[in-house]
A and B are shown apart, each in its own frame.
Chain A
Amino acid sequence: MDPGLLGQYLLNGLVLGVIYAMVAVGFTLFFGVLDVIKFSHGDVVMAGAFVGLAAYAGLEHLGLHSPLLALALIVTAATAAMALFGAAAARYLVLPLRGAPPLNTLLATLMLGLALREAVRLFYPNGSNPKPFPRLLPVEAIDIGNFTLRYDSAIIVLGGLAAIFALHIFITRSRLGLAIRAVAQDAETARVMGIDFRAVVLATFALGSALAALAGVANGLYYSEVNFSMGLLLGVIGFSCAVVGGLGSVLGAILGGFLFAALQTAGAVWFAVPAYKDVFAFAAVILVMAWKPTGLISETPAERV
């Protein structure tokens, strides 16, 4: 195969990997602290992108056209709004169901995702149509043979990696990170040691949802288009990545994200019909699950989150 085209596939895989990893980390964080699977996570990604879009529309309305300012505002608005939403969902939906069977939480969050999706479709102006996402990053490109590298693709990859790295540092080095890990390891003991359990749970959900919003914005910037149903598949893929990596492990989720993107890319290159790439990637996920049921980085109680 032409090396330029191979590079094109790799670049696309890399961007997808970063986005998947950001979504998967949320799943793993929630599972870590509360042992719940929050199925509305994919729709939080979508809602984050739409909040960003609304913020941008507001800025346009005020007549400000600086791309840098717009980008900063979009990212801030999206992450802040989704952090609040995530914390509220944890406070009013997930925590009250803590004593109920896990199936209830799963169903409740699935419904929450549906409500979020329908709300965007119905209440965002013309929300049922695909929306163009502003091109705020430089779109100049370097052409090397058949390989076209647009600067914005590179910036999305670097930005996403930086966000994931920052989260990792936060979890492993900060006091709140320590508290999150303590709750993940043993909630009861953490409480006895004086850790505010509820505050830690809310903070975790806020953190995971903010990262999802960032994934939504990255997704919008990459595809230049967002739509109300984009969270559906992203949610399923993010969840698969987290499970393959090992639910509860942040590193596992990141690994899972890149692995899934690599599988999709390999599927696209190998098969003459690219439509098989998802079949291939999900089938591979099933095989990995059969081989390592607890995920690639399997959870040992002390290493959770």
Chain B
Amino acid sequence: MHPGALALFFVLLLGGCADSPTDTVKIAFIGPLTGGVAANGLGGRNSADLAVRLRNADPRSRHRYELVVLDDECKPNIGVQVATKAAADDHVIAAVAHYCSAVAMGTVDVYHKFGMPAVVWGAVLPDVTYGNDFDEVHRVNGTMINQNDVAARFMTALGYRRWAIIHDTTDYGKGHDKYFSEALAAQGGTIVGRFGVTSDQQDFNAELTKIKELKPEVLYFGGLTPIGVRIRSQMDRLGMNTVFQGTSGIVSAAYIEGAGALAEGTVAFREGAPAERLPGGAMFLEAYAKQGYGDPPEAYGPFAFAATNLVIDAIEAVGPNRRRVVKQLNATRDYASAVGPITFDDHGQNTVPIISKFVVQDGRWVIWEDSDYARGKRKLPRPS
């Protein structure tokens, strides 16, 4: 080929890349779309997509938005790969990112290095925002500190005193173990045994047999849905009549589907409130249903929706520029969102005061106060 032609070819190629329409702004959505917690990732993805669709349908919108969807598989190494891919693309202005804390812990450095604003929509480990001073990192949902504090107060108030803990050995599970243990010690509860398990373990008979021997009143599980389902199912085989207490990691439709009838009476805690009780919940659920997505929004869908709207509003206000968007996000005070007012502290952490208590009743996660358990019609296994 003639050298000139080759040069021309490259010029055209480069030109083609740089010449994407300036009025379309890209936002990355990162979450677990495959793997054991994919249900939550897909719910988040749809919710973020909903925010983008609604905005694009709004004639007052100054830009057109495009959601770049990336799968972190809930694995830190994959998460860092896809976060780098998004951050390295100048057209991607911000990221709405992560359900899994272990992944978020790995990627916050990437966002900082590339100066890309990121708003976490589901990961609850405190260190995601509090473990660094990165201006780029924000979070709309609460942390596991608040969650476990409420959990410990609530359960001790019900009269329980003896706990055994199973937690997965990721940052997420260890964090729950740590913060629940601290909160429980403050309330005067005791922990009779503590077992770390891998997040893909199948057989829990050994752990559960040991726990059965220790005779706790409550089995606290700090981990995600897949092994939560397994532990609950295997407890039954050993004839264990202990309260099963989970965290926000199991507040999902998938837990109830997986554990079936055994899910009844499982208690768990989560930041925020169920979608229908949130300030913008009814609007969100209605709009979500209209789009006809194949999967439910799951527990953190409203947070992904709120995070995406927050990012879009920041871009609308200051234009598609990463540095200005970071600054705009950091100044967020009393922003009205679907999950209630959002105010970021100096670590970019939303100071959400609401924690909801849940119990499974007839195959649904029901707010404790609305349940037959709170009314005394049904009873959790009592301390013997």
Contact = CB atoms under 8 A, between A and B. Distances in A.
Contact of B225 (A130, A148, A223, A230): A130
B370 interface: no
A181 interface: no
A56 B36 CA distance: 22
B258 A131 contact: yes
Contacts of A223: 202-203, 230, 233-234
A298 interface: no
Interface in B202-217: 202-203, 205-207, 209-210, 212-213
Contacts of A265: 206
A233 B237 CA distance: 22
Q: Which has the most chain A C-beta neighbours within 10 Å: B200, B209, B225, B258?
A: B209
A131 B202 CA distance: 13
A132 B209 contact: no
B230 A225 contact: yes
Contacts of B205: 8-9, 12, 268
Name A's interface SS: mixed
Contact of B202 (A132, A224, A230): A230
A225 B229 contact: yes
Given A129-B254, A129-B258, A9 B34 contact: no
B353 interface: no
Nearest to B198: A275
Interface in B230-285: 230, 233-234, 236-239, 254, 257-260, 262
B39 A129 contact: yes
B222 interface: no
B226 interface: yes
A5 B213 contact: yes
B36 A128 contact: yes
Which range holds the interface residue count of chain B?
35 or more
Contacts of A230: 202
B160 interface: no
A181 B70 CA distance: 52
Contacts of B197: 275
Contacts of A8: 205, 209, 212, 238
Contact of B209 (A5, A130, A131, A222): A5
Nearest to B260: A132
A191 interface: no
Interface in A218-237: 222-225, 227, 229-230, 233
Nearest to B209: A8
Interface string B182-213: 00000000000001111010110111011011
Interface of B: 34-36, 38-39, 195-198, 200, 202-203, 205-207, 209-210, 212-213, 225-226, 229-230, 233-234, 236-239, 254, 257-260, 262
